[in-house]
Structure 1
Amino acid sequence: MARGRPVRCRLTAGQRHDASQARPLPDGLAPAYPVANHGSDADPLVAALATRGTCAVIPPRRKRRHPRAYDAARYAQRHPVERLCGRRKLFRRVATRYD
Protein backbone atom coordinates (compact mmCIF):
# COMPACT_ATOMS: atom_id res chain seq x y z
CA MET A 1 0.00 0.00 0.00
CA ALA A 2 1.14 3.49 -0.71
CA ARG A 3 -0.60 5.89 1.67
CA GLY A 4 -3.76 3.81 1.61
CA ARG A 5 -3.77 3.28 -2.16
CA PRO A 6 -3.43 -0.14 -3.77
CA VAL A 7 -0.15 -0.89 -5.51
CA ARG A 8 -1.18 -4.23 -6.96
CA CYS A 9 -4.41 -6.23 -7.00
CA ARG A 10 -5.39 -9.75 -8.02
CA LEU A 11 -8.94 -10.98 -8.47
CA THR A 12 -10.02 -14.43 -7.41
CA ALA A 13 -13.21 -16.43 -7.54
CA GLY A 14 -15.59 -15.75 -4.68
CA GLN A 15 -15.12 -19.17 -3.12
CA ARG A 16 -11.28 -19.02 -3.13
CA HIS A 17 -9.30 -17.89 -0.13
CA ASP A 18 -7.28 -14.67 -0.42
CA ALA A 19 -4.16 -16.31 0.99
CA SER A 20 -3.72 -18.29 -2.22
CA GLN A 21 -2.84 -15.04 -4.00
CA ALA A 22 -0.65 -13.60 -1.23
CA ARG A 23 2.60 -15.22 -2.37
CA PRO A 24 2.75 -13.84 -5.96
CA LEU A 25 1.60 -10.32 -5.05
CA PRO A 26 4.92 -8.86 -3.83
CA ASP A 27 6.88 -10.15 -6.88
CA GLY A 28 8.94 -7.27 -8.21
CA LEU A 29 8.27 -5.13 -5.12
CA ALA A 30 10.49 -4.72 -2.09
CA PRO A 31 8.21 -4.15 0.91
CA ALA A 32 10.17 -3.84 4.14
CA TYR A 33 7.25 -4.82 6.37
CA PRO A 34 4.30 -6.42 4.56
CA VAL A 35 1.25 -6.29 6.84
CA ALA A 36 -1.58 -8.82 6.69
CA ASN A 37 -4.37 -10.03 8.93
CA HIS A 38 -4.79 -13.32 10.83
CA GLY A 39 -6.18 -15.08 7.76
CA SER A 40 -2.84 -14.82 5.98
CA ASP A 41 -0.93 -16.51 8.82
CA ALA A 42 0.61 -19.44 6.98
CA ASP A 43 4.12 -20.82 7.39
CA PRO A 44 4.82 -21.03 3.61
CA LEU A 45 3.89 -17.36 3.14
CA VAL A 46 6.01 -16.18 6.08
CA ALA A 47 8.93 -18.34 4.89
CA ALA A 48 8.65 -16.94 1.35
CA LEU A 49 8.70 -13.39 2.69
CA ALA A 50 11.69 -14.19 4.92
CA THR A 51 13.70 -15.47 1.93
CA ARG A 52 13.13 -12.08 0.29
CA GLY A 53 14.55 -10.34 3.34
CA THR A 54 11.28 -8.86 4.58
CA CYS A 55 9.84 -9.08 8.06
CA ALA A 56 6.19 -10.14 7.88
CA VAL A 57 3.85 -8.32 10.24
CA ILE A 58 1.15 -10.97 10.49
CA PRO A 59 -0.35 -11.80 13.88
CA PRO A 60 -0.58 -15.53 14.61
CA ARG A 61 -3.90 -17.29 14.71
CA ARG A 62 -5.23 -18.04 18.18
CA LYS A 63 -5.04 -21.80 17.79
CA ARG A 64 -1.41 -21.97 16.69
CA ARG A 65 0.57 -24.41 18.78
CA HIS A 66 3.69 -22.22 18.70
CA PRO A 67 2.70 -18.57 18.14
CA ARG A 68 5.17 -16.41 16.25
CA ALA A 69 6.23 -12.98 17.44
CA TYR A 70 5.10 -9.97 15.39
CA ASP A 71 5.41 -6.19 15.65
CA ALA A 72 2.13 -5.10 17.24
CA ALA A 73 2.94 -1.40 16.79
CA ARG A 74 3.31 -1.80 13.02
CA TYR A 75 0.17 -3.93 12.87
CA ALA A 76 -1.78 -1.14 14.59
CA GLN A 77 -0.94 1.13 11.63
CA ARG A 78 -3.06 -1.11 9.38
CA HIS A 79 -6.19 1.09 9.46
CA PRO A 80 -5.65 2.67 5.98
CA VAL A 81 -5.74 -0.82 4.47
CA GLU A 82 -8.95 -1.68 6.32
CA ARG A 83 -10.57 1.57 5.16
CA LEU A 84 -9.57 0.82 1.56
CA CYS A 85 -11.16 -2.65 1.74
CA GLY A 86 -14.33 -1.20 3.24
CA ARG A 87 -14.58 1.45 0.52
CA ARG A 88 -13.98 -1.12 -2.19
CA LYS A 89 -16.82 -3.29 -0.88
CA LEU A 90 -19.14 -0.28 -0.60
CA PHE A 91 -18.50 0.97 -4.13
CA ARG A 92 -18.75 -2.51 -5.63
CA ARG A 93 -22.26 -2.66 -4.28
CA VAL A 94 -23.09 0.73 -5.79
CA ALA A 95 -21.46 -0.06 -9.15
CA THR A 96 -23.28 -3.38 -9.55
CA ARG A 97 -26.54 -2.08 -8.07
CA TYR A 98 -26.96 -4.70 -5.38
CA ASP A 99 -29.21 -2.40 -3.36
Structure 2
Amino acid sequence: MGRSRGGLTTKIHALVDAEGRPIRLKLTEGQAHDGRSAADMFETVEAGHILLADRAYDSDGLRATMAECGAWANIRAMPNRVKTFPFSQWVYRQRNVIERFFNKLKHFRAIATRYDKRDDNFLASVQLASIRIWLRSYESVT
Protein backbone atom coordinates (compact mmCIF):
# COMPACT_ATOMS: atom_id res chain seq x y z
CA MET A 1 0.00 0.00 0.00
CA GLY A 2 1.18 3.48 -0.74
CA ARG A 3 0.77 6.58 1.36
CA SER A 4 -0.47 9.90 0.05
CA ARG A 5 -2.16 13.00 1.42
CA GLY A 6 -5.47 11.15 1.21
CA GLY A 7 -4.20 8.19 3.22
CA LEU A 8 -3.25 4.71 2.11
CA THR A 9 -3.89 4.09 -1.58
CA THR A 10 -3.48 1.24 -4.05
CA LYS A 11 -3.74 1.19 -7.84
CA ILE A 12 -5.09 -1.75 -9.77
CA HIS A 13 -3.45 -2.25 -13.16
CA ALA A 14 -5.35 -4.49 -15.59
CA LEU A 15 -4.69 -5.81 -19.06
CA VAL A 16 -7.97 -6.88 -20.69
CA ASP A 17 -8.92 -8.44 -24.01
CA ALA A 18 -11.31 -6.95 -26.56
CA GLU A 19 -14.29 -8.35 -24.65
CA GLY A 20 -13.26 -6.64 -21.40
CA ARG A 21 -12.12 -9.85 -19.70
CA PRO A 22 -8.96 -9.51 -17.58
CA ILE A 23 -5.74 -11.12 -18.78
CA ARG A 24 -3.25 -9.73 -16.24
CA LEU A 25 -3.79 -7.96 -12.92
CA LYS A 26 -1.30 -6.16 -10.72
CA LEU A 27 -1.36 -3.89 -7.66
CA THR A 28 1.00 -0.99 -7.04
CA GLU A 29 1.29 1.79 -4.51
CA GLY A 30 -0.86 4.81 -5.18
CA GLN A 31 2.10 7.13 -5.69
CA ALA A 32 3.94 4.81 -8.12
CA HIS A 33 4.29 5.88 -11.77
CA ASP A 34 1.92 3.88 -13.99
CA GLY A 35 4.19 3.40 -16.98
CA ARG A 36 7.19 2.08 -15.08
CA SER A 37 5.30 -0.09 -12.62
CA ALA A 38 3.14 -1.86 -15.21
CA ALA A 39 5.92 -2.53 -17.73
CA ASP A 40 6.15 -6.21 -16.80
CA MET A 41 2.47 -6.79 -17.58
CA PHE A 42 2.86 -6.47 -21.33
CA GLU A 43 4.57 -9.81 -21.97
CA THR A 44 1.29 -11.26 -23.29
CA VAL A 45 1.05 -8.60 -26.02
CA GLU A 46 2.00 -10.09 -29.38
CA ALA A 47 2.56 -8.95 -32.95
CA GLY A 48 -0.52 -7.40 -34.49
CA HIS A 49 -2.07 -6.40 -31.16
CA ILE A 50 -3.05 -2.83 -30.34
CA LEU A 51 -2.35 -1.58 -26.84
CA LEU A 52 -4.83 1.06 -25.70
CA ALA A 53 -3.75 2.95 -22.61
CA ASP A 54 -4.38 6.33 -21.04
CA ARG A 55 -1.91 9.19 -20.77
CA ALA A 56 -0.34 7.87 -17.57
CA TYR A 57 1.30 5.09 -19.60
CA ASP A 58 2.81 7.46 -22.18
CA SER A 59 6.54 6.77 -22.28
CA ASP A 60 9.18 6.20 -24.92
CA GLY A 61 10.22 2.96 -23.25
CA LEU A 62 6.73 1.48 -23.43
CA ARG A 63 6.36 2.47 -27.07
CA ALA A 64 9.75 0.90 -27.86
CA THR A 65 8.77 -2.32 -26.07
CA MET A 66 5.54 -2.52 -28.07
CA ALA A 67 7.41 -1.87 -31.32
CA GLU A 68 9.81 -4.73 -30.50
CA CYS A 69 6.86 -7.07 -30.06
CA GLY A 70 5.29 -5.92 -33.31
CA ALA A 71 2.34 -4.35 -31.52
CA TRP A 72 1.09 -0.78 -31.83
CA ALA A 73 0.75 1.41 -28.75
CA ASN A 74 -2.18 3.77 -29.33
CA ILE A 75 -1.63 6.02 -26.32
CA ARG A 76 -2.71 9.63 -26.11
CA ALA A 77 0.38 11.78 -25.66
CA MET A 78 0.93 13.85 -22.56
CA PRO A 79 0.18 17.53 -23.19
CA ASN A 80 3.78 18.58 -22.51
CA ARG A 81 5.32 15.98 -24.87
CA VAL A 82 7.49 17.50 -27.60
CA LYS A 83 7.89 14.42 -29.79
CA THR A 84 4.55 13.15 -31.10
CA PHE A 85 3.56 9.69 -32.27
CA PRO A 86 0.82 8.37 -34.55
CA PHE A 87 -2.49 8.34 -32.70
CA SER A 88 -5.93 7.22 -33.82
CA GLN A 89 -8.83 8.93 -32.07
CA TRP A 90 -11.28 6.33 -33.40
CA VAL A 91 -9.30 3.37 -32.06
CA TYR A 92 -8.78 5.17 -28.74
CA ARG A 93 -12.55 5.28 -28.23
CA GLN A 94 -12.46 1.52 -27.83
CA ARG A 95 -10.58 2.05 -24.55
CA ASN A 96 -13.96 2.26 -22.83
CA VAL A 97 -13.74 -1.53 -22.57
CA ILE A 98 -11.18 -1.21 -19.77
CA GLU A 99 -13.27 1.48 -18.07
CA ARG A 100 -16.28 -0.85 -18.17
CA PHE A 101 -14.15 -3.62 -16.65
CA PHE A 102 -13.22 -1.38 -13.73
CA ASN A 103 -16.89 -0.42 -13.35
CA LYS A 104 -17.83 -4.11 -13.12
CA LEU A 105 -15.01 -4.66 -10.65
CA LYS A 106 -16.23 -1.84 -8.40
CA HIS A 107 -19.63 -3.53 -8.13
CA PHE A 108 -17.99 -5.99 -5.76
CA ARG A 109 -18.30 -4.40 -2.35
CA ALA A 110 -15.08 -5.83 -0.91
CA ILE A 111 -13.11 -4.24 -3.73
CA ALA A 112 -14.91 -0.90 -3.81
CA THR A 113 -14.48 -0.38 -0.06
CA ARG A 114 -11.11 -2.17 0.24
CA TYR A 115 -11.91 -4.42 3.20
CA ASP A 116 -8.61 -6.29 3.00
CA LYS A 117 -5.71 -4.65 4.79
CA ARG A 118 -2.94 -6.71 3.19
CA ASP A 119 -2.19 -6.25 -0.48
CA ASP A 120 -1.93 -9.99 -1.23
CA ASN A 121 -5.43 -10.55 0.17
CA PHE A 122 -6.77 -7.59 -1.79
CA LEU A 123 -5.20 -8.92 -5.00
CA ALA A 124 -6.84 -12.28 -4.32
CA SER A 125 -10.22 -10.52 -3.97
CA VAL A 126 -9.65 -8.70 -7.24
CA GLN A 127 -8.74 -11.98 -8.93
CA LEU A 128 -11.87 -13.71 -7.59
CA ALA A 129 -14.02 -10.86 -8.86
CA SER A 130 -12.26 -11.10 -12.21
CA ILE A 131 -13.07 -14.80 -12.40
CA ARG A 132 -16.73 -13.96 -11.86
CA ILE A 133 -16.52 -11.39 -14.65
CA TRP A 134 -15.00 -14.07 -16.92
CA LEU A 135 -17.79 -16.50 -16.02
CA ARG A 136 -20.47 -13.91 -16.78
CA SER A 137 -19.18 -13.64 -20.33
CA TYR A 138 -19.99 -17.33 -20.85
CA GLU A 139 -23.53 -17.17 -19.44
CA SER A 140 -26.45 -17.69 -21.77
CA VAL A 141 -28.63 -14.62 -22.19
CA THR A 142 -31.62 -16.54 -23.53
Does residue 50 (structure 1) correspond to residue 76 (structure 2)? The answer is no
- The Cα of 1:93 is off from its aligned counterpart by 2.3
Does residue 72 (structure 1) correspond to residue 50 (structure 2)? The answer is no
What corresponds to 1:83 in structure 2? Answer: 100
Larger proportion of strand: 2
Does residue 39 (structure 1) correspond to residue 56 (structure 2)? The answer is yes
TM-score, normalised to structure 2's length? 0.60
Identity of aligned residues (%): 29
TM-score, normalised to structure 1's length? 0.82
What corresponds to 2:132 in structure 1? Answer: none
Point out the structure with max Rg over C-alpha: 2
Q: What CA RMSD, in Å, does the superposition of the two structures yield over aligned residues? A: 2.1
| Equivalent residues, number | 97
Larger proportion of helix: 2
Separation in structure 1 between the aligned mates of residue 68 and residue 87 of structure 2, nearest angstrom: 17
Q: 1:9 aligns with which of 11, 14, 25?
A: 25
Say which SS state the counterpart of residue 9 (structure 1) adopts.
strand
Q: Which runs of 5+ in 2 are unaligned?
A: 1-15, 117-142
- The Cα of 1:81 is off from its aligned counterpart by 0.5
Contact 1:33–1:56 (CA under 8 A) maintained in structure 2: yes
Contact 1:10–1:21 (CA under 8 A) maintained in structure 2: no
